[in-house]
């Protein structure tokens, strides 16, 4: 045969390849207004493949591309996943992560052992004069706004702010 082969009808028409005994090995058809071209595996079974008029392709079972497989449940098999299905690969990755989770720092351990914040306390005014001695309350403090009145009394004042750190939900003054 040369040229085109036409089957004309508004009803379903099949193109078939048949065995000598009359059993169809393959059916190819498209219904008028149907969802796409259908390819049926005939007497050998296996279901229909549909080349949809919406651009989609349907296979009744797994799709193979080289060594990779897209399973009919959505699972993917291939060398990228260590020659196993992605579900098995992910499960092994999660298991390895979960097996090592106890050697990691928890948020409670981090809060107990690391500084979460640093700030300065509110200013405190400390006065001094001759004979009062060294004000010990200034250990670890930063001094601001120093003022001294001259004369024989040597009276003065200064403001201090203590540096403090926040560890485990508690402020601690740094001395």
Give the pLDDT confidence score for residue 138 in this predicted structure.
Answer: 66
φ, ψ for residue 99 (rounded to 5)?
A: -65, -30
Give the pLDDT confidence score for residue 78 in this predicted structure.
Answer: 94
SS3 content of the chain, % helix, strand, coil (to 5): 20, 40, 40
67 in helix, strand or coil? coil
39 and 27 Cβ atoms separated by less than 8 Å: yes
- Euclidean distance between CA atoms 144 and 98, whole angstroms: 52
Give the dihedral sign, CA 26/30/35/36.
positive
**Per residue in 20-41, pLDDT tens?**
998 999 999 988 888 899 999 9
**Per residue in 114-153, pLDDT tens?**
999 999 999 988 888 776 766 666 677 888 888 888 776 7
**Per residue in 101-116, pLDDT tens?**
777 788 888 888 999 9
pTM over 0.85: no
């Amino acid at each position: 045969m040369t040229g085109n082969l036409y089957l004309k009808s508004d009803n379903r028409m099949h193109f078939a390849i048949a065995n000598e005994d009359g059993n169809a090995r393959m059916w190819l058809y498209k219904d008028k207004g149907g969802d796409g071209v259908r390819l049926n595996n005939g007497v050998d079974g296996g279901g229909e493949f549909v080349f949809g008029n919406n651009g989609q392709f349907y296979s009744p079972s797994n799709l193979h591309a080289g060594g990779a497989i897209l399973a009919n449940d959505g699972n993917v098999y291939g060398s990228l996943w260590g020659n196993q299905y992605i579900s098995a690969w992910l499960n092994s990755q999660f298991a390895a992560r979960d097996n090592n989770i106890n050697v990691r720092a928890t948020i409670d351990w981090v809060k107990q052992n690391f500084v979460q914040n640093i700030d300065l306390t509110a200013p405190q005014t400390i006065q001094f004069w001759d004979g009062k001695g060294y004000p010990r309350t200034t250990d670890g403090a930063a001094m601001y706004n120093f003022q001294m009145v001259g004369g024989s009394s040597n009276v003065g004042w200064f403001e201090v702010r203590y540096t403090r750190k926040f560890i485990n939900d508690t402020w601690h003054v740094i001395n």
